[in-house]
Structure 1
Amino acid sequence: MRGVVFRGNRELEVLDFADPVPGPGDVVIRIKASGLCGSDLKFYRDPPDEALKALGFKDFSARGIDEAPKIVAGHEPCGVIAEIGPNVDHRAWKVGDRVMVFHYKGCGFCDNCRTGWTQMCEHGATIYGATAHGGHADYMVVPAETLVALPDEISFSAGAAIACGTGTAFGALRRADVTGRDTVAVFGMGPIGQSAVQFAKAFGAEVIAVDIAEDRVARASELGAHHVVNSNSVDPVEAIREITGGRGATAAIETSGAPVARTAATRALGTWGRIALVGLGGNIDLNVSPDIVIKQISILGSYTFSNVGMGECARFVAKHGIDVDAIFTDRWKIDEAVEAYVEFDKQTRGKAVIEF
């Protein structure tokens, strides 16, 4: 099979690998779609060890590995089951089933693993596409426990998005308890922010979309935002206060990870506001008393989602007809991986996917 391997320093290769064989408890997935995610750019731009450390995980040297192995990239896999190994419950899965992959594996026994939060495993998680082979390949072998059913109503590309970015948006809105009572400001109109706009509108909230790029601001309107703010030309805090009659937003989702955006998103909240911080890296600069304490603001970290939450997201998309495919602007083949990441690295367009 072919697989994409990041070398760091904005270099990648498409290499040949042996077709995977399922071990006990494993399944082989024939990949149909594998999404490109913003966190992939850490591994594309930086050496693998540095990328892991930047994202808060142990590097390969800390795992007792002298040299970073050649690992297939891509942590948004979606496809069909091609082969089932021993000890897999055939009442749960069969060859031909449409599936997404929850791209973390933990010990399976700690409290976090047992509640579906395997990325927070107390003993350290395997991350498919980072520390184990991911979805940028013709095939992928994973434990059956990582599978989440893909409803028939959802395309494989949409399933790939739900496997990380779109699912992350859904999880952040749930974490911030966004409902139809809210006016929610979504900062950052990359793929996660665009999905957050779609979901927040479906939840019944009034949606304000904020970004520094005019094309992404315009895209947010097309995806259902009630108000849009170009923070490159106006003060987003003042703009949101004007939109809300001086009250401020009741909730905010910050997806970019940019310190200035995090600060603005928090200050744009009214009293009792809630903010979910999604973007990784960077810091936040706030004056604690006026910005947080006196307004009784709740600041929440939102780290992707549980495997149960991933299934909930997929079922919500299917039930409510959320057009996840609308966030895609670029679709590539694996032989075009070099060009795909050159374009994705510019971070000026919407969602991208490698389709098989």
Structure 2
Amino acid sequence: MQGITFPGDRTAVLKDFPRPEPGPGEAVVRVKASGMCGSDLHFYRGTVSFGGGADTIQGHEPCGVVDAVGPGVTPDTATVGDRVMVHHYWGCDACAHCRTGWPQMCDRENGHTVSITTHGGHAPYLVVPARTLLPLPDALSYEAGAAIGCGTGTAWGGIRRLGDIGGTTLVVMGQGPVGLSGTMFASALGARVVAVDVKDARLERARAFGASEVINSAQADLAETIADLTGGRGADVILETSGVAGADALTILGKWGRACFIGLPGEVSFRTEQQYKKQWTLMTSWTMSTVEQARCADFAVEHRLPVDDLYTHRWSLGQAAEAYRWFDEQADGKGVFVL
């Protein structure tokens, strides 16, 4: 089979790999959809020095059908033919974080991540520990399951960290795929969502995903506009997804405000003596747990959310070079490889 690799020089290359076979406790997934995530670009551009590389299949948003299971995999864990999402991390299974569904936070530092320390989903087949598989609801497409596996699930994780947002004015900074997902979830949860970006096309899409107001922060004074929209109180809640608007976020957060920063690389700083009277709660969020990934999928079904509409481009594996050239421009929406 062929899989997409990144040499690290802004190229995407198809290479031949053996079709994987499941070992003890493992399952092989026949990949039906594999999403393109913004964090792919760190490896595509060669701006990070860990993981991935020319000999590792990329893609950490896989979704598909169980094709084979290895020894010791019980039917309640995985069965051939199951429609599944993949939680793309696994750890020791023994520490408190692993036991509560957070293997990416494994205390024993022996965790693995799809497409970083092991082969990913930009290929026809993927082998993973069977315990990382989660049921894909029948009402969701494989493309939706792929998005929930990372980008959309990351937005859900941030929203869940923020707590009760119903009735609040919530500002989503950045309207790329993660930001649009945050806008979609926050609107469905009853928040008044103000979408912020520097591109009008993305802001128009934000309206379709439930934003009540949109602000082009390259054309309007963000602090003044938020003050006008809130009667001078500022934002109740902020979800920062762009990774470049941390400073702007703190200029618009009101008293008792809550902000969650999930955009990378991201930088947030403030002087306590200038801000302590505002009684803020500032936090970060790292994707989501296995439990929350399943909840995210169920929530999307229950509220009939248009997760598929996050994608503006669908590609075949043979179009890998063209697909990542397009994605590297960061000018449009989300892409997915459909197999």
**TM tier, smaller:** over 0.9
The aligned counterpart of 1:56 is none
SS in 1 for 2:298: helix
Is the contact between residue 270 and residue 295 of structure 1 (CA under 8 Å) also seen in structure 2? yes
Deviation at 1:288, TM superposition (A): 2.9
The aligned counterpart of 2:297 is 314
SS in 1 for 2:12: strand
Q: When the two structures are superposed, what TM-score results if normalisation uses the length of structure 2?
A: 0.97
Deviation at 1:269, TM superposition (A): 1.2
CA distance in 2, matches of 1:176, 1:210: 18
The aligned counterpart of 1:71 is 56
Q: When the two structures are superposed, what TM-score results if normalisation uses the length of structure 1?
A: 0.92
Give 1:120's match in structure 2, choosing from 91, 97, 105.
Answer: 105
The aligned counterpart of 1:279 is 263
Is the contact between residue 144 and residue 307 of structure 2 (CA under 8 Å) also seen in structure 1? yes
Give 1:143's match in structure 2, choosing from 122, 126, 129.
Answer: 129
The aligned counterpart of 1:301 is 284
Within 5 Å, give how 1:193-232 maps onto structure 2: 193-232=179-218
Deviation at 1:51, TM superposition (A): 4.1
CA distance in 1, matches of 2:128, 2:49: 23
The aligned counterpart of 1:347 is 330
Deviation at 1:179, TM superposition (A): 2.4
Deviation at 1:145, TM superposition (A): 0.8
Aligned residues: 338
CA distance in 2, matches of 1:42, 1:178: 33
- Give % identity: 47
Q: Which runs of 5+ in 2 are unaligned?
A: none
Give the residue type in structure 2 aligned to 1:92. Answer: T
Deviating above 4 A after TM superposition, structure 1's stretches of 4 or more consecutive aligned residues are none
Is the contact between residue 148 and residue 297 of structure 2 (CA under 8 Å) also seen in structure 1? yes
Indicate the larger mover: 121-130 or 313-322.
Answer: 121-130
CA distance in 1, matches of 2:216, 2:165: 25
Within 5 Å, give how 1:13-162 maps onto structure 2: 13-46=13-46, 50-52=48-50, 70-124=55-109, 125-162=111-148
Deviation at 1:88, TM superposition (A): 0.5
Give the residue type in structure 2 aligned to 1:99. Answer: V
SS in 1 for 2:3: strand
Is the contact between residue 72 and residue 133 of structure 1 (CA under 8 Å) also seen in structure 2? yes
Alignment RMSD (CA, Å) = 1.3
Indicate the larger mover: 281-290 or 193-202.
Answer: 281-290
Is the contact between residue 100 and residue 149 of structure 1 (CA under 8 Å) also seen in structure 2? yes
Give the residue type in structure 2 aligned to 1:143. Answer: P
